[in-house]
Amino acid sequence: MNTFRLPVKLALASTLAATAAMAIVPGAALAVPAGGYADLVEDLSPGVVYIEVSSTSPAEMQMPDLPPGMNKEDFMRRFGPLMPNFPNPEPTRGLGTGFIISQDGQIVTNNHVVEGATAITVTLSDGQVFDAEVIGTDPLTDVALIKINADVELTPLEFGASSEMRAGDEVLAIGNPFGLGNTVTSGIVSAVARNINSGPYDDFIQTDAAINRGNSGGPLFNNDGQVIGMNTMIFSPGGGSVGIGFAVPSDMITDIVADLADDGTITRGWLGVQIRPMSEEVASVLGYDAPVGAVVEVVSDDSPAAAAGLKAGDIILSFAGIEIEDTQSLQRAVADVDPGTVAQAMVLRKGTEVTIDVTLGTLPVSNT
C-alpha cells in the first residue's frame, strides 16, 4: 500500500485501485460492439484471476514484552495510534488481480500486489482456488510473474501491441475491485507514453476507465480482446477514482515476463554514467528549438562508458539506433540492450558529432 506524491496523490492501484480497460487497435472499428461487450467479457473472464496475499511483519521487528494481563490486541488498540510505523504482528491481507498467460499456469500481476507475500492464493473465475508461487518480480516496472499448478484447463489471454494504441481508443477492464470479483469497466485511452516520474522506465498508457482498490494487476484489453496493458496506478486527490489511471504497456510486459520466466531475474544493460537533461540555454546556443539528448555529468570508474571513452560534458543524441529525447529515453534504451552487446552512441562533443562503440555491462542488482 505504497503511495507517493505528485501535485496530488498518485497511488499504487492495489492500494487505491487499478482497473482494466478496453482499447481499439487502429484499423479496428472505433465503436462499442453491437449489443455491448457481453460476448467479449464472457470469452475473456476465465483468463482473469483474483489474488489474495498474506504477509507478516519483518521477523526482526518483534512485539515488546507486554505488561501482565495485557494481550496483543489490547496493546495495539491502546498504543498503535502512537506508533504508526510499528508493525502489526498479525498477518495482513491484500487483494489484487492477475491474468493467465500460459496453459501451465503462469500469471502476470503487479509487483506491489505480491511484494512481501508469505502466501498467495489465486481464485479462478469459476471459484476454484490454488496456491501460487512467485517466479520473479521487477520492482522498477511493477511487473511480477507468479505460477499455479492446476490440473484443470486454463484460459490464457493473448497480448496485443500496445504501440498501436492511440488516445481515444476504447478500453475494457475486468478485475477484482474491493474484493467483489468479476467486475467489468470500460473507457478510453486518454494518453500514451505517459511519464509520471514514478521510475526510470515510465511509459504508461493513461486511461479514464474506473480504477479501484483490488484491480491492481488487472488486464487492459483492446476491442479484439487482447491485453495491451496492466493497470498499476491512479492519480487521485482523495484516494478514489477520478478517471485518471495508468497501465504498464504490453510491449514492456512481454519483454519483462520473458526474462523473468527464464531464471526469475531481470537482466538489463548498464552504461555507467550520471546524466542530466540539456538546459534551455544550452539548447538555444547549440541551435536546437528545444532541449534534446542526455548530458553526461559523471562517468563511473571501471564502467562500460569509461572503457569506451565517454567523457563528462558529452551529449548523447542517440543510442543503439534510438534517438534520445531526454534522460529517461536514454535509460530505457540502455536497459533494452543485452549486456555484452556492442551499441553505438552518437555523441555531441564540443560541437562535433562523434560515434562511440560501447560494450554494455550488466546493471547491478542493487540498481534494479
Domains of the chain: 3-25+157-254 (2.40.10.10), 269-367 (2.30.42.10)
Q: If we measure between CA atoms, which residue out of 11, 334, 331, 277 comes closest to residue 142?
A: 11
Q: If we measure between CA atoms, which residue out of 367, 363, 306, 310 comes closest to residue 340?
A: 363
CB atoms within 10 A of CB 240: 14
* pTM for this prediction: 0.76
Q: Return the pLDDT at 51.
A: 95
- In the three-class reduction of DSSP (H, G, I as helix; E, B as strand; rest coil), residue 16 is classed as helix
Q: Return the pLDDT at 31.
A: 60
List CB contacts of 110: < 8 A, sequence separation 6 or more: 12, 13, 14, 18, 96, 142, 143, 144, 216, 217, 230, 232
List CB contacts of 243: < 8 A, sequence separation 6 or more: 187, 208, 210
List CB contacts of 281: < 8 A, sequence separation 6 or more: none
Give the 3-state secondary structure percentages of the chain, helix then strand then coil, rounded to 5: 20, 35, 45
pLDDT in 10s for each residue of the chain, 368 residues: 333 333 334 555 444 343 333 333 333 334 666 678 899 999 999 999 999 999 764 444 455 555 565 565 655 555 555 445 555 555 567 889 999 999 999 999 999 999 999 999 999 999 999 999 999 999 999 999 999 999 899 999 999 999 999 999 999 989 888 778 788 999 999 999 888 777 778 889 999 988 777 888 999 999 999 999 999 877 766 666 677 889 999 999 999 999 999 989 988 999 999 999 999 999 999 999 999 999 999 999 999 999 999 999 999 999 999 999 989 899 989 998 999 999 999 999 998 999 999 999 998 865 44
CB atoms within 10 A of CB 336: 16
How far apart are the C-alpha atoms of 333 and 117, rounded to whole Å? 32
Grid coordinates of 49: 484471476
- In the three-class reduction of DSSP (H, G, I as helix; E, B as strand; rest coil), residue 92 is classed as strand
**Active centre residues (catalytic):** 112, 142, 216
CB atoms within 10 A of CB 196: 15
- The alpha helices in 98-151, defined as continuous H runs, are 111-114
- The alpha helices in 191-321, defined as continuous H runs, are 250-263, 280-286, 304-308
